[in-house]
A and B are shown apart, each in its own frame.
Chain A
Amino acid sequence: MITIDALSKRYGGFLAVDDVSFTAQPGRVTGFLGPNGAGKSTTMRVMVGLTPPTTGAALVNGRHFADLPNPGREVGVLLDASAQHAGRTGRDILKVAALTMGLPLSRVDEMLGLVGLSDEEATRRVRHYSLGMRQRLGIAAALLGDPHVLILDEPANGLDPAGIRWMRDLLRTFADDGGTVLLSSHLLHEIEVIADDLVLIGNGRIVAQGTKTDLLAAAGTVVRGTDVDALAVALKAAGLHVTRTPDKALHTDASPDMVGRVALAAGVALTELRSADGAGLEEMFLELTAASQREGVAA
Chain B
Amino acid sequence: MSTTPATYRAPTPYDSPSTQIGPAGSPVRRGPRDDVPALTFTALVRVEFVKMFNTRSGFWLMASIAILSVLASGAVILFGGENAITYANFSAAVGMPIAILLPMLAILSVTSEWSQRTGLTTFTLVPHRGRVITGKALVTVSIGIVGILVAMGVGALGNLLGAAVHDIDPVWEFGFTDLLMVMLANVLGMLMGFTLGVVLRNSPAAIVGYFVYSLILPNVFGALAFYQESFADVWPWVDQFYNVTSLFERVPSDQEWVQLAVTTVIWMGVPLLVGLRFLFRSEIK
Residues on A lying within 8 angstroms of B by beta carbon are 1, 26-27, 45, 48-52, 61-63, 65-66, 68-74, 77, 79-80, 82-89, 92-93, 95-97, 99-102, 110, 113-116, 118, 125, 141, 143, 145-149, 161-163, 165-166, 169-170, 173-174, 176-180
In the complex, A48 Cα to B119 Cα: how many Å?
12
Q: B250: CB under 8 A from chain A?
A: no
In the complex, A49 Cα to B283 Cα: how many Å?
9
Chain A residues contacting B21 (CB-CB under 8 Å) are 114, 143, 146, 170, 173-174, 177
The size of the chain B interface, using a CB distance under 8 A, is: 57
B39 touches A69 (CB 8 A): yes
Residues on B lying within 8 angstroms of A by beta carbon are 3-5, 7-10, 13-14, 17-18, 20-23, 26-34, 36-40, 43-44, 46-47, 50-51, 54-58, 112, 116-121, 123-128, 281, 283-285
On whether A61 and B120 interact (CB within 8 A), knowing A114-B17, A166-B8, the answer reads no
In the complex, A52 Cα to B283 Cα: how many Å?
7
Chain A residues contacting B284 (CB-CB under 8 Å) are 45, 50-51
In the complex, the chain B residue whose C-beta lies closest to that of A145 is B36
In the complex, A83 Cα to B28 Cα: how many Å?
31
On whether A163 and B8 interact (CB within 8 A), knowing A70-B39, A100-B43, A178-B30, the answer reads yes
In the complex, A147 Cα to B32 Cα: how many Å?
10
In the complex, A242 Cα to B118 Cα: how many Å?
54
B120 touches A83 (CB 8 A): yes
What DSSP secondary structure best describes chain B's contact surface?
loop
B8 touches A70 (CB 8 A): no
B14 touches A166 (CB 8 A): yes
A97 touches B56 (CB 8 A): no
In the complex, the chain B residue whose C-beta lies closest to that of A62 is B32
Chain B residues contacting A149 (CB-CB under 8 Å) are 29
In the complex, A166 Cα to B13 Cα: how many Å?
10
On whether A85 and B123 interact (CB within 8 A), knowing A26-B29, A113-B10, the answer reads no
Chain B residues contacting A50 (CB-CB under 8 Å) are 120, 123-124, 283-285
In the complex, the chain A residue whose C-beta lies closest to that of B44 is A100
Minimum CB–CB distance for A229 against chain B, Å: 42
In the complex, the chain A residue whose C-beta lies closest to that of B19 is A173
B33 touches A148 (CB 8 A): yes
In the complex, A84 Cα to B116 Cα: how many Å?
6
In the complex, A82 Cα to B120 Cα: how many Å?
10
In the complex, A173 Cα to B116 Cα: how many Å?
33
A74 touches B54 (CB 8 A): no
In the complex, the chain A residue whose C-beta lies closest to that of B51 is A96
In the complex, A178 Cα to B29 Cα: how many Å?
5
A49 touches B47 (CB 8 A): no
19 contacts between A and B (CB under 8 A): A45-B284, A51-B285, A61-B31, A70-B38, A83-B116, A83-B119, A85-B118, A95-B54, A97-B125, A99-B46, A101-B125, A102-B37, A113-B13, A146-B22, A146-B23, A166-B14, A170-B17, A177-B27, A179-B30
B5 touches A96 (CB 8 A): no
A69 touches B120 (CB 8 A): no
